[in-house]
A and B are shown apart, each in its own frame.
Chain A
């Protein structure tokens, strides 16, 4: 195929996919076990381009850690994965279902993708228990009794079962972030997205959150994690990704990533961040 035709095809192929059964895109076999797949994604905020031709696959059970300098588009990328932002071209699928603005399956999709924010974003007017049960009850249609049992179970897993009846502002930052993780887990999600979950925490609380995340990783959860905690990354990551200026610059398994990254920029970034 001539290259310009090829480019045209690449640019518009998502239209072909989206025509198949209400946005349900079929993928070639080699992509089938990719739970998240992004291909040639561009994202604009007005005239500003935040993502350039980003492609990425995450297999079931894989743990991906994304790092990169501020403003490189890390948040934008993972927010596009659960439709908090919408990409402008390219294609993103979760379990083979396309994520886009017009998709009627978006709420259903989001039920399977947990998201943990830098600022926790707990619901301040609800108790911890209510924070955890509101999703299962209102979205999944679980009974109140069952939802509470599930919530207590997950609170146990994040090591704060005794805080169930308090309100979020009565908890420390580390505890709040663990509640936020439990809130996502209560939805029995298949995928967890983390956007700098420890950046807003006091140093002494970082480890309690990371420990929970490590346990989660050990349980086989698919995780995409934006973080600069390199110790954590070394411990859990299957794949490291380095982003800069809206592009994925380096993708490598951790031992190669930390010792011999291909890109000079990545090496520089790592030396700066590890020098701390």
Chain B
């Protein structure tokens, strides 16, 4: 520790002091002016609570939301990856119409606020899809079944399945454009010589893409894709607006019913941070490991 302190410049110390004063001022304002009563002791109960009915600890709203966020992120990123690869290929297509459609989709997402995009996707696409496929009654059917443990493990409460699915679809559609751009960059980074070598042994365009270009491209863009996954986890908060029961939505509800404004939001922030930060550490380690090989 003293070694660490010795390395601090006086400017560093100044910055730290200013920061401390800033935090203190805010603290005083919340504590004094707003007359806010901190009730941190109530938070753990909203993460895990003891259920007298089942006589065991069960997740409460915050943890439920956290788990839902993880579920949504995983499914949405798988879907976004599939859609993104298709989009990325479309962006490099030799067919002008295909290329223009993919480009239009991207520009649409780039130039409209995310919230608006989310609502449009929700009302125009995922709602329609869910109604058309009759997912609502199908999910209710499963929810009524006895042994639906696998379903519950994968998707949580099956009665909320339709909302979960529309959340996943909306989020995946939203992120797919960015995944698509990453994939396109990967495909275009593969040298022309690779295409020519594949052509000259008689491979067609599809085989070339599948066996030569895509494997190399996807390997190259794994780091940015991992980053995009973390972005997706953060972006998932936005689908609380369409009433998907994930962490942010649950926090809003909790705050509304308990007025634990600062405690609840700080806890939620911490949960997001821990999740995203550990993911980024994990990816960094994996990347370093694959570099060594």
Contact = CB atoms under 8 A, between A and B. Distances in A.
A142 to B, nearest CB: 12
A119 to B, nearest CB: 6
Contacts of A88: none
What is the size category of the interface that chain A forms with chain B? 20 to 34
Given A121-B191, A124-B216, 11 more contacts: A107-B202, A107-B203, A108-B202, A115-B196, A117-B197, A121-B194, A123-B197, A123-B216, A138-B203, A140-B202, A187-B202
Interface of A: 82-84, 107-108, 110-111, 113-115, 117, 119, 121-125, 134-135, 138-140, 180, 183-184, 187
A55 to B, nearest CB: 24
A117 B201 contact: no
Interface residues of B, number: 18
A252 B56 CA distance: 94
A139 B200 contact: no
Contacts of A184: 200-201
Contacts of B219: 125
A114 B199 CA distance: 10
Most B CB within 10 A of own CB, among A111, A113, A123: A123
A84 B201 contact: no
Interface stretch (B12-20, B61-69, B167-175, B207-215): B207-215
18 contacts: A84-B199, A107-B203, A108-B202, A115-B197, A115-B200, A117-B196, A121-B197, A123-B194, A123-B216, A125-B215, A134-B201, A135-B203, A138-B203, A139-B207, A140-B202, A180-B197, A184-B200, A187-B201
Contacts of B215: 125
Interface in B180-214: 191, 193-194, 196-204, 207, 211-212
Nearest to B216: A125
Most A CB within 10 A of own CB, among B194, B201, B211, B216: B201
Contacts of B193: 117, 119, 121
Contact of B203 (A113, A114, A119, A139): A139
A144 to B, nearest CB: 14
A138 B207 CA distance: 8
